[in-house]
């Protein structure tokens, strides 16, 4: 029998079942303090580079809600192209394991975003689902692999309400996409104090929230301190990506074979069928890279190199599942419509 020497562990049946029924999984303490410091440094560098640049690396698209005119938000799309250190998180065994559990081994990175959400007394993001009209009618019963899923990695304290918290409606991932009327009503309720049945995610640095494209979600106002996070979007190798066409050679060359494959790279002469039936997928997905050389020297000095390498990855599922309680604003939006 072949020995499977993976560097990752998947989610438990209980965790998978919570994701399937509730439409999210809040994993507390997935990344350690040293990694959180590294993540914050990446956010600061990416935000500085974007605000200093004349234009975004990813050109404007009409679906971007006039982000350019907003002072409260810096959102760096396709962040891997400018911040290679993001590879550390994308290829991290503790993230790859849960994502393989949700989507299968044909894991594809569809987008890598860095967020800096400053103080703003108005809700940061209106209620919505992801993917646009092309995906809104697609129904998945969540008894098998998911279609697309995001991992939000929190790098600052978001444990009090009104901190730019992620808001979600538990179970809404199985509902039809909200209509414009639903969205207007919910945004009104949000401004007036909250949407019935909505859950305010109270995250600590190092926590990760997993959720599918079909979950109804929004972002609360932020009256406290800048919120820093990454949102990494995953799907299948046969999916198109959201913030890049293909990663250029100079990006791919800096990544491990596993992460190159997760960016849809099959080398110089891919076969069209590779995206559906790759022949070496299990072997390629077994192990990721060592990106310790990308960690800034002061952080290595402060935390020690072991905090960023295989020595700290071996513990099985160091996270705990956090069950945030929904706010009691009354009756939830009905499931059957």
Residue selected from 19, 38, 88, 166 as contacting ligand AKG according to rule CB under 6 A: 166
Of residues 135-164, those binding ligand AKG (CB under 6 A): 152
Closer residue to ligand AKG (CB): 18 or 222: 222
CB 206 within 8 A of CB 36: yes
Q: Which residue is nearest to ligand AKG (CB)?
A: 166
The distance of closest approach from Cβ of residue 221 to ligand AKG in the complex, given in angstroms and rounded to an integer, is 12
Q: Is 24 in the site for ligand AKG (CB under 6 A)?
A: no
**Of the two residues 88 and 115, which places its CB atom closer to ligand AKG in the complex?**
115
- Residue (217 or 260) nearer to ligand AKG, CB: 217
CB of 334 to ligand AKG, least distance (A): 23
Distance CA 175, CA 167 (A): 16
Least distance to ligand AKG from the beta carbon of 199, Å? 13
Helical packing angle, 93-103 and 13-22, nearest 10°: 60
Residue 213 · residue 131 · CB < 8 Å = yes
* Rounded CA separation 22/82 (Å): 35
Among positions 28-87, residues that touch ligand AKG (CB under 6 A) are none
Counting every residue written for the chain, the total comes to 337
Q: Which residues contact 217 (CB under 8 A, 6 or more apart)?
A: 125, 127, 128, 129, 166, 167, 168, 169, 211
- The single residue among 19, 38, 89, 115 that binds ligand AKG, judged by CB under 6 A, is 115
> What does the per-residue mask of binding to ligand AKG show for 218-257, with x meaning CB under 6 A?
-x-----------x--------------------------
Nearer Cβ to ligand AKG (115/244): 115
Judged by phi (left if over 0) then psi (alpha if -120 to 50, else beta), residue 25 lies in: beta
In degrees, to the nearest 5, what angle opens at C-alpha 133 toward C-alphas 179 and 151?
95
The enclosing H or E element of 228 equals strand 227-236
Closest of 305, 125, 326, 292 to residue 219, by C-alpha: 125
Which residues are CB-neighbours of 62 under 8 A, at least 6 positions away?
none
Q: Identify which of residues 36 and 307 has a Cβ nearer to ligand AKG in the complex.
A: 36
Query: Residue 71 CB, nearest distance to ligand AKG (Å)?
Result: 16
Total residues binding ligand AKG (CB under 6 A) = 8
For residue 165, which of 130, 194, 185 has the smallest C-alpha distance?
194
Measured from the CB of residue 115, what is the shortest distance to ligand AKG in angstroms?
5
Q: How many CB atoms lie within 10 A of CB 11?
A: 22
126/296 with CB nearer ligand AKG = 126
Does position 125 interact with ligand AKG (CB under 6 A)? The reply is yes
- Best CA proximity match to 153, nearest among 216, 200, 92, 108: 92
Comparison of 89 and 166: residue with beta carbon closer to ligand AKG: 166
- Is residue 130 close enough to count as binding ligand AKG by CB under 6 A? yes
Nearer to ligand AKG, 96 or 231 (CB): 231
Cα–Cα distance for residue pair 178/176, rounded to 1 Å: 6
Instruction: Single out the residue of 125, 130, 128 nearest to residue 191, CA to CA.
Output: 125
Is 259 a binding residue for ligand AKG by CB under 6 A? The answer is no
Which residues of this chain interact with ligand AKG, rule CB under 6 A?
A: 115, 125, 130, 152, 166, 217, 219, 231
């Amino acid at each position: 029998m072949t020995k499977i020497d993976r560097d990752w562990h998947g989610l438990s049946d209980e965790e998978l079942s919570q994701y399937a029924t509730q439409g999210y999984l809040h994993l507390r303490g997935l990344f350690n303090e040293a990694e959180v410091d590294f993540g914050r440094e990446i956010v600061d560098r990416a935000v500085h580079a974007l605000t200093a640049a004349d234009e975004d690396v990813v050109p404007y698209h009409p679906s971007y809600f006039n982000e350019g005119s907003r002072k409260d938000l810096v959102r760096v799309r396709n962040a891997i192209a400018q911040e290679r250190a993001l590879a550390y998180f994308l290829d991290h065994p503790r993230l790859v394991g849960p994502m393989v559990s949700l989507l299968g081994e044909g894991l594809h990175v569809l987008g890598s975003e860095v967020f800096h959400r400053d103080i703003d007394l108005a809700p940061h993001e209106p209620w919505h689902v992801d993917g646009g009209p092309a995906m809104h009618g697609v129904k998945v019963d969540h008894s098998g692999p998911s279609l697309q899923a995001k991992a939000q990695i929190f790098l600052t304290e978001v444990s009090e309400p009104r901190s730019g918290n992620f808001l979600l409606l538990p179970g809404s991932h199985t509902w039809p996409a909200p209509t414009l009327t639903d969205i207007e009503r919910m945004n009104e309720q949000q401004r007036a104090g909250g949407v019935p049945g909505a859950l305010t995610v109270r995250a600590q640095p190092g926590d990760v929230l997993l959720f599918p494209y079909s979950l109804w979600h929004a972002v609360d106002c932020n009256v406290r301190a800048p919120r820093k996070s990454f949102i990494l979007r995953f799907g299948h190798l046969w999916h198109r990506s959201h913030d890049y066409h293909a990663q250029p050679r100079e990006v791919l060359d800096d990544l491990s074979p596993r992460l190159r494959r997760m960016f849809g790279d099959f080398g110089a002469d891919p076969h069209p069928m590779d995206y559906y039936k790759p022949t070496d997928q299990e072997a390629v997905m077994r192990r990721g890279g060592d990106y310790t050389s990308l960690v800034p020297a002061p952080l290595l000095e402060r935390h020690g190199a072991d905090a960023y390498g295989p020595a700290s990855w071996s513990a099985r599922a160091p996270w705990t599942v956090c069950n945030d309680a929904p706010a009691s604003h009354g009756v939830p939006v009905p499931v059957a419509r």
